Structure 1
Amino acid sequence: MGELTQIVPFEMVDAVLAECGAVQQRLRKLPARVVVYQLLAAVLFAECGYVAVWSKLTGALRSLPLPQITATGLWQARTRLGVRPLQALFDLLRGPATAIRTTGARWAGLLVVAIDGTHLDVPDDPAVRARLGKGTNQYATSGYPQILLVALVACGTRAVIDATFGPRTSGETTHGRRLTRSLHTGMIALLDRGFASNTFLRAVADTGAVFLARLSAARKPPVLHRFGDGSFLSRLGDMEVRIVECEITIATTAGRHTGVYRLATTLLDARRYPAFELVRLYHERWEVESAYFAIKKSMLGRRVLRARTLPGIAQEVYALLTVYQVIRIAIADATDSVCGADPDRASFSVALHAARDQVIQAAGVIAGTTIDLVGGIGRAVLDHLMPTRRLRVSPRAVKRPLSRYAYKSLRVDRRTYKATISIDILLTRPISP
């Protein structure tokens, strides 16, 4: 895995294999440790088949007597390995990847995290389709079967703290309940309307974490007491919360758009946590969308997963999450080495391509006597830091329509605009449109 091997060293992989009882019983062409690294490398080269990935993984080792590997042999090795070693490896590596000094990771002393879900396409194999189903419309079924991935992401670094996945029919909140195991005191969880049910909010509050969630327009929480900053004390079920109602206007050269937001939080101290700052903080929820973009676009290139069995799909998803997390750790190590460097300015694509080059060259596999926390990947990131993020908006539209001509008839404006935002805290109930 090139330099990434220093984050996922041989000893870590061997310990995981031993813990899961997945160490090979006899010496094979493909020992279990090699199969783990093969699966991780396959994530870096999503456009290649497994045999081509093997060629890249061993490309710099041609002077050594390497065994001849076939596609069937690789398939059998992956099947023998199973899912548990990749899941255990991800469990070891998942986390916020933040240091105390990491810029933008915390707000008012709280680690800012977000929960959201996305869908991954999987092969349209009969067994997979029978288990996961397919999307339907009024005419017929369409598209690929999909799995629902729900993740708890640290907004400051976009690292994955925890993740779960399964059939999309179970729904985001069902999968999201499993992620409450990783919430704790000292966190503030940003949630969209899909996670704002009383039951889910209570589950989050019971972990000791606080939340900032957007409520749907249909909910009308009672006003129990009005605070000086315009927010008011209210109640959701048996839970005491503070409500902030605001009007946000986005102005671009294409026009103006105004929307009303209603946010609920368990932070009841209006002086310590002003309403205006809470509204600004809620925008950080979109960092989880940036994490999904890196996984689905930068890493997968919007491709369908390779595996054609449910255990194989689970194995591949854990490998995908593991490699994503390892790259985020490398980025965090690099930005932490520069005082005041915000991880938002680090390019995931630059880090990904640098990691691929390291694999092909078999470079940086073994750490030197002097530990370099930045390394080749980190230096590539620091050499290409992006400018401070500009305020821009673009429409939420289907990025991969069934027809590439469909968006023309819908007249969807896909351009990105520079924007200005104004926030007004509402002191009275907005009039429903």
Structure 2
Amino acid sequence: MHEWGSGAPVKEGVLQDILDPGAPLTTDSVITRVVTVAGGRFAPGHLGELTRIVGFDLVDAGLTETGKVQARVRDLPSRVVVYLLLAAGLFAEVGFGQVWQRMIAGLDGLAVATPTAGALAQARRRSGPAPLRALFDLLRGPAAGLATKGVYWRGLLVTALDGTMMCCPDTAANLQVYHRGGGFHGGTGYPMVRLLALVACGTRTVIDATFGASSVGETTYTLDLLRGMRRGMIVLADRNFASQALLAAVRETGAHLLVRVKNSRNLPVCARLPDGSYPSRMGSVEVRVLCCEITITTSAGSRSETCKLVTTLLDPDCPATEIVRLYHDRWEIETAFLELKSTILGGRVLRARTPRGVEQEIYALLVTYQALRVAITDATLGCPDVDPDRASFTIALNAARDQLIHAAGVIETTVVDLVGIIGERVLDHLMPARRLRTNPRVVKRAISKFVASTARGRTRGPSLEATIAINILTDIDP
């Protein structure tokens, strides 16, 4: 019965505190902890406390759906391999062999396999990317309720659409699919993978994602994300996504769109609304255009910039200045990409040396990231006054690592606890409420002597408190 994954308790040994090895024992320090994990060869298959989010049932469902359940139970069952790939996202700085050691570190007293590096590689190839993609489909979503602060605006789920680039190893196999990046490095750059995501701005959870070769543009990949859009949602996007065809496709899903367009784009003025915005058309879609001047003022001076926004929100009861302020939430997706590429990966290149491996690794990273974000959101659900963006992703990541090493919280007790240890640490170290501050853009780390010479004299200074003034421009003749 334990062979197929039922719970099996593992009891840690008794530790004695001996101050002087030559002296008689005077003090006994007894530390006893019961760890409940899956039984038999399935025991190493866990993600610590995050297993409550990425449960055995979800992993098994993904394996069954893709036909990747093992024909016979080996030392590395399919479920264990999936958890190994997910755990690798928590420990991006070490190899798979050391990831395995962390997964079994809390299983003292239980006989577990000690696979070689070759066995781990063979097991990953045998699993392939399909189960990870199916698991991502099961977990993706906004992961928030209507009461969650900062997630909805006027009853609409606020989301953002954008893309980023990730580097993969410079191998002959990867170069057949992915191309090297340009820039100062020329042909010495790593092959690049274009990742496009639809993110809930309030929780930074991933609603959907797609990726592929950098030779394919972002607007083409966006068509794969239409399945994640629906009525009751507003999608924020930058100028790259302001095409008539894409606008129509998004509108067909029922979602609204708020996108920036070039100031030079000619959009006819059909009328003038009281707040200064005006209705117009982009192709077959009726839109509302907002031309505005944004002024940022600090103690060092002020700076103004003119921008033009287009939205499918035609309700005149939605003030233009409020819509302009909403557009600033688009930057939350940049923070999500930072957490994925910098906090989790630490700026490292992906591990996988084949295109199938790259696909497998990226889906595993997305699942691990989503699990951490769900844990953060669950922790803040009971605190309606706490905005999820005050939660530290770094603290959640380190708490999840600790729980995995100790194999703690793998199987939920009869009392459901949405917060858990990860949530407790997050809530104990909430970041201050956001203040409006700005900092001049500078080169923080030169990648070449040329860049260092051009950046001379531009040093990073303290951030400055700022105020923003929005002026809706009405000098366009209808």
| SS of residue in 2 equivalent to 1:148 | strand
| SS of residue in 2 equivalent to 1:2 | coil
Match runs of 1:212-291 below 5 Å: 212-270=258-316, 272-291=317-336
Q: Residue 372 and residue 405 in structure 1: after superposition, are their counterparts in 2 closer, same or farther (change >3 A)?
A: farther
1:409 aligns with 2:467: no
| SS of residue in 2 equivalent to 1:124 | coil
The structure 1 residue matched to 2:404, chosen from 338, 341, 359, is: 359
| SS of residue in 2 equivalent to 1:217 | coil
For 1:377, the aligned partner's letter is: I
Measured after TM superposition, the shift of residue 250 of structure 1 is 1.4
Aligned to 1:418: 465
Alpha-carbon distance in 1 for matches of 2:188, 2:220: 25
Of 327-336 and 60-69, deviating more is 60-69
8 Å CA contact retained: 1:395, 1:413: no
Aligned to 2:221: 175
Alpha-carbon distance in 2 for matches of 1:266, 1:42: 42
Structure 1-normalised TM-score?
0.96
8 Å CA contact retained: 1:56, 1:359: yes
Aligned to 1:344: 389
Alpha-carbon distance in 1 for matches of 2:209, 2:330: 16
| SS of residue in 1 equivalent to 2:106 | helix
Measured after TM superposition, the shift of residue 404 of structure 1 is 7.2
Alpha-carbon distance in 2 for matches of 1:61, 1:284: 44
Aligned to 1:368: 413
8 Å CA contact retained: 1:3, 1:363: yes
Match runs of 1:286-301 below 5 Å: 286-301=331-346
The structure 1 residue matched to 2:90, chosen from 37, 44, 67, is: 44
Q: Residue 289 and residue 396 in structure 1: after superposition, are their counterparts in 2 closer, same or farther (change >3 A)?
A: farther
Match runs of 1:6-25 below 5 Å: 6-25=52-71
Measured after TM superposition, the shift of residue 355 of structure 1 is 0.4
The structure 2 residue matched to 1:210, chosen from 256, 263, 275, is: 256
The structure 2 residue matched to 1:315, chosen from 331, 341, 360, is: 360
Aligned to 1:27: 73
Measured after TM superposition, the shift of residue 396 of structure 1 is 5.1
1:74 aligns with 2:120: yes
Q: Which structure has the highest helix share of the two?
A: 1
Q: Residue 239 and residue 423 in structure 1: after superposition, are their counterparts in 2 closer, same or farther (change >3 A)?
A: same
The structure 2 residue matched to 1:378, chosen from 414, 423, 435, is: 423
Q: Give 5+ residue unaligned stretches, structure 1.
A: none
For 1:417, the aligned partner's letter is: L
Measured after TM superposition, the shift of residue 331 of structure 1 is 0.5
Measured after TM superposition, the shift of residue 303 of structure 1 is 0.4
| SS of residue in 2 equivalent to 1:389 | coil
Deviations 1:150-176 (A, max 9, x none): 000001100000000001110111111
Alpha-carbon distance in 2 for matches of 1:316, 1:404: 34
For 2:261, the aligned partner's letter is: L
Count how many residue pairs are aligned between Structure 1 and Structure 2.
429
| SS of residue in 2 equivalent to 1:242 | strand
Q: Residue 365 and residue 132 in structure 1: after superposition, are their counterparts in 2 closer, same or farther (change >3 A)?
A: same
8 Å CA contact retained: 2:442, 2:459: no
8 Å CA contact retained: 2:444, 2:460: no
Aligned to 1:130: 176
Q: Residue 48 and residue 404 in structure 1: after superposition, are their counterparts in 2 closer, same or farther (change >3 A)?
A: farther
8 Å CA contact retained: 2:163, 2:196: yes
Alpha-carbon distance in 2 for matches of 1:309, 1:378: 36
Q: Residue 51 and residue 138 in structure 1: after superposition, are their counterparts in 2 closer, same or farther (change >3 A)?
A: closer
For 2:295, the aligned partner's letter is: T
Of 194-203 and 133-142, deviating more is 133-142
Match runs of 1:71-110 below 5 Å: 71-110=117-156
Q: Residue 139 and residue 34 in structure 1: after superposition, are their counterparts in 2 closer, same or farther (change >3 A)?
A: closer
Aligned to 1:428: 475
8 Å CA contact retained: 1:159, 1:329: yes
Q: Residue 323 and residue 101 in structure 1: after superposition, are their counterparts in 2 closer, same or farther (change >3 A)?
A: same
Measured after TM superposition, the shift of residue 242 of structure 1 is 0.7
Q: Residue 136 and residue 420 in structure 1: after superposition, are their counterparts in 2 closer, same or farther (change >3 A)?
A: same
Alpha-carbon distance in 1 for matches of 2:196, 2:442: 21
Alpha-carbon distance in 1 for matches of 2:108, 2:346: 29
Q: Residue 422 and residue 408 in structure 1: after superposition, are their counterparts in 2 closer, same or farther (change >3 A)?
A: farther
| SS of residue in 2 equivalent to 1:116 | strand
Aligned to 1:64: 110
Alpha-carbon distance in 2 for matches of 1:168, 1:292: 17
Aligned to 2:18: none
| SS of residue in 1 equivalent to 2:336 | helix
Alpha-carbon distance in 1 for matches of 2:98, 2:273: 63
Alpha-carbon distance in 1 for matches of 2:439, 2:476: 29
How many percent of aligned residue pairs carry the same amino acid?
A: 54
Deviations 1:272-315 (A, max 9, x none): 21101000100010111111011011100010000000000000
8 Å CA contact retained: 2:86, 2:368: yes
| SS of residue in 1 equivalent to 2:49 | helix
8 Å CA contact retained: 1:79, 1:312: yes
8 Å CA contact retained: 1:154, 1:161: yes
| SS of residue in 2 equivalent to 1:35 | helix
Q: Residue 307 and residue 119 in structure 1: after superposition, are their counterparts in 2 closer, same or farther (change >3 A)?
A: same
The structure 2 residue matched to 1:188, chosen from 234, 248, 251, is: 234
Of 366-375 and 127-136, deviating more is 127-136
Measured after TM superposition, the shift of residue 401 of structure 1 is 5.0
The structure 2 residue matched to 1:201, chosen from 247, 257, 263, is: 247
